[in-house]
Amino acid sequence: MSENDKELTIHVVATNDAMVSNLQQVFSKRPGKKPIVYMTRVDHELRLNRINLEKDNILIIDSEKISQFDIEDMALLHKERIHPYIIYLASSWTENQLIDLMRVGVNEIIHLPLNGSSQDLLDAIERIQKRVNIAVSSKPKGKIISCISSKGGAGATMIAINLAYLLSQKFQKKILFIDLHLQYGDSSYYLSDTIASSNVAEIVTQPYLNSVTIAASAIQVADNLYLLPSSNSIEKSSNIQADHIDTLLTVAAYEYDYVFIDLNYVLTSNSIRALDRSELIYIITQPTLAYLKSLVNLLGVFSELSYPEKKIKIVMNKCDVDAALPIEKVNEIINRKVYAEIPFDLSAVDESINAGVPIVKMFHLNKVSKAIEALANFTEGKNLVEKPESMLSQIFHLNKG
């Protein structure tokens, strides 16, 4: 371990004193200055509230058999947004139990019994240490932005794709677009008919994820714009843990100017981790009561997650449809102001989607494109209000288009 490495605090909850002695023997061969905190179960229970767990802690738990009570306790940690690195020691497990452990955030599973020279456990700790060192040494330069619908069909993917495209072309920013619809994401249809060599589910579970792996797996759909598609395999997607999302975003933010995340409106531990890491969250909705009720519910969840209001921007898609509620009524219902409005043009949007070409490229003078361009200006820190063009400039642009 180098002087600049961040040393992790290890907490052990052992079944009994004999296991504590066994682990002490194993760790006697591990260099480190921080003491290891040992405790035993209380009436077979973990009682994790005894431990001051922080993000960069390792929690080691042992059990002769996989305990459903342990799984529920670890799930509660994630619900409370406490994310230690967890190593679980057990003598046996089934495939379903293995999946359950991964879903509640277990990073490593080690087979019992251990012996005094057990290298498996030491290797697991070393792998976790390396991941932490990458996160500490990397100084993320990229802005992470999540786009999520208040309800299915709001148009979040279309807006997110076009926003990312504009930032990559107009502002020459290097963009990674991650499709985190972990079942049947369709972002690739908006940009390319190229079949990706890999996808999110396949790369995030690799032991040592790096920028080379991401670049090799992503589809380059335009200059500076790269797409990492979702997996169409439910089985592979179910193996993704929130910790995997953390690592992916840490690596990507160091390599790209912007990391866009396209999320499903149904929240999971994975999507919440992505939202936690996001500097901005664009909620795409529509000005009808069904969408607005879902938006209010989503804003309530974000409030419970303690997201600051300035982090959340509401984008009203199809703001000018006949059935749209007046913007004043919308603001009253959601108890906050709509940040940006995107008009409706069914023909142009459908034509661009069918062609696999962003609407901001295919119809750059269209009212939808202009509204998304204004949103791109804000995202890049430019003034949303642009100076009106002169008549000569308008004619020039019309001729050029």
260-293 per-position pLDDT tens digit: 999 999 998 899 999 999 999 999 999 999 999 9
* Cβ 249 vs Cβ 277: under 8 Å: yes
Nearest to 278 by CA among 241, 240, 252: 252
CA dihedral 87, 93, 98, 104 (to 10 degrees): -50
Average pLDDT of the chain to the nearest whole number: 85
What is the SS3 assignment for 48?
Answer: helix
pLDDT (mean) for 200-227 = 88
Strands 37-40 and 225-228: unpaired
* DSSP 8-class letter at 288: S
Helices (H) and strands (E) in the chain, counts: 16, 13
- Look at 17-21, 129-133, 138-142, 372-376 and tell me which has the smallest mean pLDDT: 138-142
Cα dihedral 238, 241, 245, 251 sign = negative
Q: Tell me, yes or no, if the pTM score tops 0.85.
A: no
Edge-to-edge, what's the strand order for the sheet holding 258-263? 219-222, 225-228, 175-179, 258-263, 143-149, 280-285, 312-317, 340-342
